[in-house]
Amino acid sequence: QSALTQPASVSGSPGQSITISCTGTSSDVGGYNYVSWYQQHPGKAPELMIYEVSNRPSGVSYRFSGSKSGNTASLTITGLQAEDEADYYCASHTGANTLSFGGGTKLTVL
Amino acid sequence: QVQLQESGPGLVRPSETLSLSCTVSGGSLSSEYWHWIRQPPGKGLEWIGFIYYSGSANYNPSLKSRVTMSVDASRNQFSLKLNSVTAADTAVYYCARRGGPGYVDLWGRGTLVTVSS
């Protein structure tokens, strides 16, 4: 299975908004509303931020939101804060009943 | 609250078998799917596979020929075996709980396994 495609890096200033894209195919992202996003700080395990395209788990800030159009899903972070600086990964359920991850995006808060 | 803890050797020789266990505490294995995910140093996440508490499993096609997962309900543990390892299998290995299709809602802290002679 091929990894989902994410930009290697994005950046933004405190208070700004950024969007990270995650592109797959009709066999994964485009075929199901089962896309998730994870935040990972250095040396830590990933943390679930968004599931089923746009749902936030309890405790995750409202500043994080998700959406999908066709074969591309997106994670948007509004009101950037220094603590948001981390790696972000998307993942999708696939038609083969597997889980496919994106390559990861490094977010830098300037 | 439910917690996951990986355990196993931190060093494995090339061509041998990597064996890890994940202990579920504060909850039960029953009626859940359990994943293994790995992350080579400085690289991204790679899904290895999942196993249902009943024992049925599904693996990443790229690793399928070398992977076996199992469940030990009596010990509230599930396990990963990866055979014929090479240096490319050096990674932090995470066990995790499936929250639903397409997402993991609980992760272990991860354990680094190095493949080296």
- Whether residue B104 lies within 8 A of chain A, CB to CB, comes out as yes
In angstroms, rounded to a whole number, what is the distance separating the alpha carbons of residues B97 and B117?
32
- Apex B108 CA angle, B102 and B113, nearest 5: 105
Q: Is A82 helix (H, G, I), strand (E, B) or coil?
A: helix
Nearest Cα residue to A48 out of B102, B4, B30, B3: B102
- pLDDT value at residue B6: 98
Q: Report DSSP letters for B12-65, one per residue.
A: E-TTS-EEEEEEEESS-STT-EEEEEEE-TTS--EEEEEEETTS-EEE-TTTGG
Q: Is B1 helix (H, G, I), strand (E, B) or coil?
A: coil
In angstroms, rounded to a whole number, what is the distance separating the alpha carbons of residues B70 and B52?
9
The label of the residue with tokens 């746009």 reads A54
Q: Given a cut of 80, is residue B94 above it in pLDDT? A: yes
Helix H or strand E encompassing A98: none
Per the prediction, chain B carries an average pLDDT of 96
Distances (CA, A) of B74 to B4, B50, B53: 16, 19, 11
- pLDDT value at residue B30: 86
- Whether residue B72 lies within 8 A of chain A, CB to CB, comes out as no
For each successive 10 residues of chain A (110 residues), what is the average pLDDT? 91 97 97 98 98 98 98 98 98 95 97
Cβ neighbourhood burial of B27 (10 Å; 0-12, 13-18, 19+): middle
- Cβ of B102 and A1 within 8 Å? no
Q: Given a cut of 70, is residue B46 above it in pLDDT? A: yes
- Cβ of A52 and B100 within 8 Å? yes
- pLDDT value at residue A27: 95
The label of the residue with tokens 């995470």 reads B94
- Whether residue B100 lies within 8 A of chain A, CB to CB, comes out as yes
- pLDDT value at residue A1: 67
- Whether residue B75 lies within 8 A of chain A, CB to CB, comes out as no
Of A93, A97, A101, the CB nearest to B46: A101
At B115, the pLDDT band (50, 70, 90 cuts) reads: very high
Cα-based torsion angle of the residue sequence A85, B106, B52, B84 in order, rounded to the nearest 10 degrees: 50
Q: Are A12 and A85 in contact (CB under 8 A)?
A: no
pLDDT (tens digit, 9 = 90+) per residue, B2-22?
Answer: 999 999 999 999 999 999 999
At B31, the pLDDT band (50, 70, 90 cuts) reads: confident
- pLDDT value at residue B51: 96
Of the ranges A19-28, A58-67, B24-33, B62-71, which one carries the lowest mean pLDDT score?
B24-33
In angstroms, rounded to a whole number, what is the distance separating the alpha carbons of residues A110 and B89?
35
Please state the rounded mean pLDDT for residues B35-64. 96
